[in-house]
Structure 1
Amino acid sequence: MDTIFALASAPGKAGVAVLRVSGPDAWTSVERLAGKVPPARTTSLRTLKDEAGIFLDQAMIIVFEEGASFTGERIAEFHLHGSISVVNAVLSFLSKLPSYRMAQPGEFTRRALDNGQLDLTQVEALSDLIDAETEAQRKQAIQVLTGALSDKVIDWRAKLVRAAALLEATIDFVDEDVPYDVSDEVVSLLSSVKADLETEHSGVDAAERIRSGFEVAIVGPPNAGKSTLLNYLAGREAAITSDVAGTTRDVIEVRMDILGLAVTFLDTAGLRETSDVVEQIGVKRAKDRAAAADLRIHLARNEEELLLPVQKDDIVLIPKQDHGHPKGVSGHSGFGVSVLLDNVKSVLSGRVANAGLASRARHRENLGHSISYIGRALTELSDENFQADLVSEDIRVAIRYLETLVGKINVEDLLDEIFSSFCIGK
């Protein structure tokens, strides 16, 4: 196997640059650059020189043993001065070593998966942690990365294996008296797992929203102050404002952190009938994005201006109110904006209250299939003449879907897509 290397910190000038090497010959790089390899997991200050004895840098070096590193392989880390020329000089030296090559995007993490240091849910969580912008996203990613979802799957799988084993024991006694009736214990195990899976499945949508963020659409007729309100929320001129109706033609987005949640506010085109072809496209886009949004803020002076249905939790406000009105708001003066944000926080916080650890469509699908097969097994068990081998097979299928969830089987087609989003040094 090749030994791979890459810059693990951000490229460009920095106080410190971290260069990571992983593979069977990783410690060779330390020997060639700095001489004797330091004790594992201790920090050592060394002078780095190339083979001609030319000084490259003074760096901190840490090595990790096989089985006790992020990738599960031998690792060497060089903490260099964050000079572009220093980093390039060391990278150039490593590229000339036999069996060494530059790492591909996500290859360090791929090796961690292959070597059993992480499962697939933890790999996804690591990607989410790198991309996290808010406190809620960080907390969610850390939970899964540290094995919270994996631990649940291990527990569910153990119970299902126990249930299948009990049933298969009865098959062995098919021509004899079964030592005891296992049905009650099997039903209890399956019911317990099914209830847990259903709870986790029901929280996927909320968890997915924490991970990817909410969308809140600002909708209303032309000149209702939508763009002005968006600019006030953004604290900058994100959208062009004008008294001319139809100024906003496309959907303008501003991403914000609301109570630790990632929220994208959408400024949409004014809703009205128009003969302008371009504006018609903008109106259609506005309606489509507003319908797909998690929440809508309707700016309307009266009921006739509510050109979209008001859905549950939607917020209806009277625009361009600089004082006094309890349902008024102004993007010009900021009147009512704090109340509006409190309402948005309240609605969205309520929606993530039941968030689980599973947060992706893939998770939802595997949990759903496992629930379905456990449900089939329970239905079959309700018949006193059930066939133990058929029930056991349904349980085994449910187990396979859980194993797929954590990446034990049938996930090769997912890996290229997952690791393509990683940076080279990860």
Structure 2
Amino acid sequence: MISQETIVALASPSGAGAIAVIRLSGKEALSIAEQVFQSVSGKSISKQKTHTIHLGHIIDDGKVFDQVLLSIFINPHSYTGEDVVEISCHGSTYIQQQIIQLLLRKGCRMAQAGEFTLRAFLNGKLDLSQAEAVADLISSDNEASHQIAMQQMRGGFSNEIAKLREELLNFASLIELELDFAEEDVEFADRTQFSDLLNRIEFVLKRLIDSFAVGNVIKNGIPVAIVGEPNVGKSTLLNALLNEERAIVSEIAGTTRDTIEDELVIGGIGFRFIDTAGIRETKDVVESIGIKKTFEKIEHAQVVVYLLDGSWMMEDGSHNIKKVQIEAEKIKNQFPLKPLIIIANKSDKLSSSQISNLKSEIPSILLLSAKEKIGIDDLKTQLLSFVNTGALRNNETIVTNTRHYDSLLKALEEIQKVKFGLQSNLSSDLMAIDIKQALYYFGEITGEVTNDELLGNIFANFCIGK
């Protein structure tokens, strides 16, 4: 149920700044704002058109708080679908608090987390998946996550789901009609067309479900574990990638005893690099804990970078190369689903014949010098190749939300039950049950089916002013 109270909150980030924006929404937004705003033109703001901006002062009992710009959005032509007023004041925290406290005294209530967007959903301005995309857009920190959030907020995902739901609902209505004429044994729903629709729905659902693997890592960043023996240059590589001295580098083996993480955007995709402790046999208790953490990080990484000292590899010719091949095979066997990049560091110390020999023995090996920053771009290109960005370029729908993913899986299960029932000549009343359940899960995504607990969980993660 939509609250009738007028709510207020700071819509810009908290803290001091050049400008701050205070937002009001609700039935009394205009009348409350008029009590505290005095236009320089002398106009009454309650009589002004929607989407207009007015210069004036915030005044109470003759005391002037600030000179502001006041923006008016009259329902239903506003973000929330209600009357909305936005006050752009100077960004002093004192001014912000004084104006908000004044508005509270005049009858506003402080908005709860996500309440403006919740009202937009309840007033039909956004469906639930679009509302969730608003939060994703705010938290996006790279080009790819921003592009996905924008596409979903514009309704790309929900439109696709709504179209499938509507077609399925039409067939469900015809099957329900058949039940009313069960004694006459007539069919209103064309079974061939129904089968084609189910196949199409199944195809789209599978595509959306498969896209979650890409969408999830794009949204949260792709974790990359940098592993290898001590003193092969893992910390130097991390520093070279980030272009800053993030990790301590020394000639002493075992300097890195804990994992160090930092993020980098490559080609619009976020990567989270994890510099791990060197893997070796050690009696040092602290270093042993770090090595244990290394294997835990590999377990959770999406990509493993296995770094080696190129000059060491060529010291004993084929013997050391063989050892590398054996170790790399162990990592592949232990983590078969993770892409593995084998890198020979310190390649600037190798001769052209040594490089040629190394590449002939391990064709997939990548040569670089972290210290001299040679080959870093090649590594970035290879990392980017592991991400399926084709869907982004083609503007396809990509699922990033775990709740949507779960509902899609359940909807697919019900559609497959309907398909089996159709192929088995199951009675219409039994098929209707599975169709209704599929429609239910479609409705969960866009918000046709919802409850207070679900809405509370979703909007509690929003910032207060949104």
Count of paired positions: 423
Structure-2 separation of matches of 1:257 and 1:10: 24
- The CA RMSD over aligned residues, in Å, is 2.1
2:331 matched to 1:309? yes
SS in 2 for 1:255: strand
Q: Does 1:379 align with 2:389?
A: no
Residue of structure 1 equivalent to 2:386:
347
Query: Which stretch shows the higher mean deviation, 408-417 or 373-382?
Result: 408-417
> Contact between 1:329 and 1:337, CA under 8 Å: does it hold in 2?
yes
Structure 2 counterpart of 1:335, from 371, 374, 387: 374
Does 2:94 match 1:85? yes
Structure 1 position 45, deviation (Å): 1.5
Report the TM-score, using the length of structure 1 for normalisation: 0.93
- 1:405 and 2:445 aligned: yes
- In structure 2, distance between residues paired with 1:425 and 1:96: 19
2:402 equivalent in structure 1: 361
Alpha-carbon displacement from aligned partner over 1:28-47 (angstroms, at most 9, x marks no partner): 22211225113211112223
- Residues 53 and 356 (structure 1), Cα distance of their counterparts in 2 relative to 1, 3 Å cut: same
**SS at 1:117's partner residue?**
coil
Q: Is the 8 A contact 2:177 2:188 kept in 1?
A: no
Query: In the alignment, which residue of structure 1 is the partner of 2:16?
Result: 13
| Paired position in structure 2 for 1:43 | 53
Q: CA deviation at 1:410?
A: 4.1
| CA spacing shift, 1:2–1:180, aligned 2, 3 Å | closer
The CA deviation string for residues 71-123 of structure 1, in whole angstroms up to 9 with x for no partner, is 1221111111223332222112112113x122222221222222222222112
Amino acid across the alignment from 1:395? I
CA distance in 1, matches of 2:199, 2:257: 53
Instruction: Pick one of 141, 144, 148 that aligns with 1:133.
Output: 141
Give me the whole-angstrom Cα distance separating, in 2, the residues matched to 1:338 and 1:179: 63
The answer on whether the counterparts of 2:174 and 2:189 sit within 8 Å (CA) in structure 1 is: no
> Unmatched 5+ residue regions in structure 1?
none
Instruction: State the shift of 1:162 in Å.
Output: 1.3
Q: Following TM superposition, by how much is the alpha carbon of 1:383 offset from its aligned partner in structure 2, in angstroms?
A: 2.1
TM-score (norm 2): 0.86
Native 8 Å contact 1:4 1:22 kept in 2? yes
Give the secondary-structure state (helix, strand or coil) at the position aligned to 2:85. strand
Identify the match of residue 307 of structure 2 among 299, 304, 323: 299
* 3-state SS, counterpart of residue 17 of structure 2: coil
Does the C-alpha gap of structure 1 residues 333 and 87 become closer, same or farther in structure 2, counting only changes over 3 Å?
same
State the SS of the aligned residue for 1:20: strand
Counterparts of 2:138 and 2:444, CA distance in 1: 24
2:188 and 2:218 map into 1 onto residues whose CA distance is 48
Corresponding residue number in structure 1 for 2:41: none
How far apart, CA to CA, are the structure 1 residues paired with 2:118 and 2:220?
23
Aligned residue for 1:215, secondary structure, equals: strand
Aligned to 2:30: 27
Relative distance call for 1:239 and 1:351 in structure 2 (3 A) is farther
* Cα distance between partner residues in 1 of 2:188 and 2:132: 44
In structure 2, C-alpha distance between the alignment counterparts of 1:111 and 1:202, rounded to whole Å: 32
Distance apart, 1:181 and its partner CA: 6.2
The 1:138–1:303 alpha-carbon spacing in structure 2 relative to 1, beyond 3 Å, is: farther
Contact 2:214-2:388 within 8 A present in 1 as well: no
Task: Tell me which amino acid in the other structure corresponds to 2:196.
Answer: S
- Map of 2:191 onto structure 1: 183
Corresponding letter in the other structure for 1:157 = R
Pairwise CA distance, 1:349: 4.2
Distance 1:364 1:253 in 2: 28
Q: Deviations over 1:195-254 (max 9, x none)?
A: 111111111111111111101111111111000110111121211112222221221111
Paired residues of 1:44 and 1:61 also in contact (CA < 8 A): yes
What is the identity percentage for the equivalent residue pairs of Structure 1 and Structure 2?
35
- SS of 1:203's partner is helix
Tell me the residue number matched to 2:294. Answer: 286
| CA–CA distance in structure 2, aligned partners of residues 272 and 113 of structure 1 | 55
Task: Say which structure is richer in helix.
Answer: 2
Tell me if the contact between 2:151 and 2:397 (Cα under 8 Å) persists in the aligned partners.
no
Distance 1:294 1:199 in 2: 21
Offset of 1:276 from its aligned partner?
2.1
Structure 1 window deviating more from structure 2 (135-144 vs 188-197): it is 188-197
Asked whether the equivalents of residues 166 and 186 of structure 1 are also in contact (C-alpha less than 8 Å), the reply is no
User: Equivalent residue for 2:460?
Assistant: 420
- The 10-residue stretch of structure 1 (372-381 or 117-126) with the greater mean CA deviation from structure 2: 117-126
- The one-letter code matched in structure 1 to 2:331 is P
